[in-house]
Structure 1
């Protein structure tokens, strides 16, 4: 007897890549989502040149903005490069065009601000990395302290590692809990961190204060300046500026 079971419908998942991306914002959800039935993973950037990550290596996009297919799921990762990307008209236009036809619009970490610059967070509940959450009202969003926040077809997630939780949550919505749990098992996502913490609510205050002073106070100020600044004209990212 032949197997007449229908193949799962194809789902095109488009990840935006920008210079300075936090690689785990992209690679963690991509690792789970690529195992979803029918998944077709696409990574798009302004050009097909290698994209430098924050980890000292680069990622090669599969497409540029012009060749990228329409996303069923659009995912916008974050990173320290977001502040510059907020002023790039071509990047923001790409997000807006893709979001208009996507079934799901999602972000990881500070990628939420790129969604916001594209006008996609107005009146929406959203989350982002804890160090930047106070800036969400600047893009019209209602900040929510949570690892994953769903508002209609919009799904935002917190910092870096929360992208994996977001991916499994979305897989569960699309294919059911059993499929999501099987993928979680396949990648052995069974976190048992060596320290209690990972969020200011559960981390010793001195550690949080020290990290903010060393990294995130200045980074959040830079993000704020970018958010209140104008959207710049479209230009190539390959010029190094």
Structure 2
């Protein structure tokens, strides 16, 4: 029995965070039968918030369904919430999906579209997500029905690995994890980083 084929829409928009999208893409595109689509308002190149340029393969008007949607976050999350055509498309395509997912502040875009009740997000925007009427979790990955949200940036890899395990097999997810050598050993623990750096960064981001 072969693996199921799936159309995955990776959403592009100005000033998105590249790793939010590239991390899940690297995991999910490793699975045979996955068809990746990079969808945006137009086919014009999109620059991420650190300048990386990506080119859409389709537009919101052209793609009216997807098995999976992956919504990245942005270091400019307030501006992202002004991307009304994208939010409208998320609301439109959500009924067609098996899974609608987000990474980092992408959960605030799902909230703006009215698609999520319980979610996680980047630690710096938990208050914003809560103000949108969402029950905010501090977990790294949260499943709420068919909506799966990941916390900040690198957590998108965890989310995608969990999705592979859910939709395909644990062995498949383990194989991908080994292939990308995802066994994080960061140089500093959260305790070592400390509240002073966290507060300074939050002020800078806000």
TM over 0.5: yes
User: Cα RMSD over matched residues?
Assistant: 1.5
Does residue 210 in structure 1 map to residue 205 in structure 2? no
Structure 2 counterpart of 1:166: 159
Structure 1 counterpart of 2:95: 100
Mapped partners of 2:78, 2:182: distance in 1: 31
5 Å-filtered alignment, 1:75-224, equals 75-121=70-116, 124-197=117-190, 203-213=193-203, 215-216=204-205, 219=206
TM-score between the two structures when normalised by the length of structure 1: 0.81
Structure having the higher Rg = 1
Mapped partners of 1:69, 1:7: distance in 2: 26
Mapped partners of 2:18, 2:91: distance in 1: 23
Gaps of 5+ in 2: none
Aligned length: 206
Greater shift, 77-86 or 148-157, is seen at 77-86
- Say whether the 8 Å CA contact 1:19–1:81 is kept in structure 2: no
Report the secondary structure of 1:195's partner residue. coil
Gaps of 5+ in 1: 1-5, 220-241
TM-score between the two structures when normalised by the length of structure 2: 0.94
Offset at 1:195?
A: 1.3
Q: CA 1:44/1:68 → structure 2, altered by over 3 Å: closer, same or farther? A: same
Mapped partners of 2:145, 2:192: distance in 1: 29
